């Protein structure tokens, strides 16, 4: 506080030259000339020190070698399979893992059995269902649905159990073509009025 008052009195006395009026229009000088300080104040023993903290010493940069040192080989990490939801609403959702897969499996069995019975007995699809085929269809549907849902409710995904040529994607495409084939067979027999073969 005392140093601030001393500096202010010094600035005021230096900004107005002796013999000049206080109503001077020129701005005060920005620098403090040493002649403005009286000799008694120059030898007062007051020191001004910086209060900023010291910065840690900076290590000198080491030259980078032309060839980088060899890195240890990274071990390949197998990506963890995402957690599969086992909730009933997630498994049987429209975009869930069960509906299209179960329908595709039932369509594959239905298409092959419909064509086989048609070749063996000569009955069309409607006659096969009305002559005792409906209970077999219901029983087959229940068995294949349960066999497809049990692993999904246990958290096992179809992709984790498939590899090679006959994988989960191939099963989906075969099921889709079987669904189309079964509908085309029924529509063709309806238009033709009898069995296809």
- CA–CA distances in Å: residue 145 to residues 85, 142, 178: 18, 5, 17
Q: If 0-12 CB within 10 Å is exposed, 13-18 middle and 19+ buried, where does residue 97 land?
A: buried
Distance CA 127, CA 108 (A): 19
Instruction: Write down the mean pLDDT value for the chain.
Output: 74
Q: Examine the pLDDT at 3 and tell me if it is beyond 80.
A: no
pLDDT digits (tens, 9 = 90+) for 102-128: 899 999 999 999 999 899 988 888 888
Domains of the chain: which residue ranges? Answer: 97-192
In a 3-state reduction of DSSP, which class is residue 194? coil
191 vs 80, higher pLDDT: 191
Q: DSSP readout, 143-154?
A: HHHHHHHHHHHT
Percentage of the chain surpassing pLDDT 90?
A: 15
Distance CA 175, CA 105 (A): 6
What is the average pLDDT across 35-40?
Answer: 52
Q: Examine the pLDDT at 176 and tell me if it is beyond 80.
A: yes
Q: Examine the pLDDT at 33 and tell me if it is beyond 90.
A: no
pLDDT digits (tens, 9 = 90+) for 138-148: 998 899 889 88
pLDDT digits (tens, 9 = 90+) for 40-87: 555 556 666 666 666 666 666 665 556 666 777 776 666 555 566 777
**What torsion, rounded to 10 degrees, do the Cα atoms 180, 182, 183, 185 define?**
120
> What was the pLDDT predicted at 22?
47
């Amino acid at each position: 506080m005392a140093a601030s008052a001393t500096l202010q009195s010094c600035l005021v006395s230096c900004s107005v030259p002796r013999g000049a009026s206080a109503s001077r229009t020129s701005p005060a000088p920005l620098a403090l000339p040493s002649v403005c300080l009286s000799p008694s104040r120059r030898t007062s023993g007051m020191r001004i020190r910086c209060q900023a903290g010291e910065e840690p010493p900076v290590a000198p940069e080491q030259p980078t070698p032309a060839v980088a040192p060899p890195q240890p080989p990274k071990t390949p990490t197998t990506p963890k399979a995402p957690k599969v939801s086992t909730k009933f609403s997630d498994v049987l959702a429209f975009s869930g893992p069960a509906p299209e897969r179960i329908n595709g499996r039932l369509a594959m069995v239905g298409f092959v059995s419909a064509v086989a019975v048609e070749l063996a007995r000569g009955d069309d699809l409607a006659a096969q269902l009305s002559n005792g085929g409906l209970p077999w269809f219901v029983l087959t549907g229940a068995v294949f649905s349960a066999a497809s849902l049990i692993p999904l409710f246990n958290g096992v995904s179809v992709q984790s159990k498939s590899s090679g040529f006959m994988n989960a994607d191939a099963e989906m495409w075969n099921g889709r073509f079987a669904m189309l084939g079964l509908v085309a067979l029924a529509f063709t027999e309806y238009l033709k009025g009898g069995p296809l073969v």
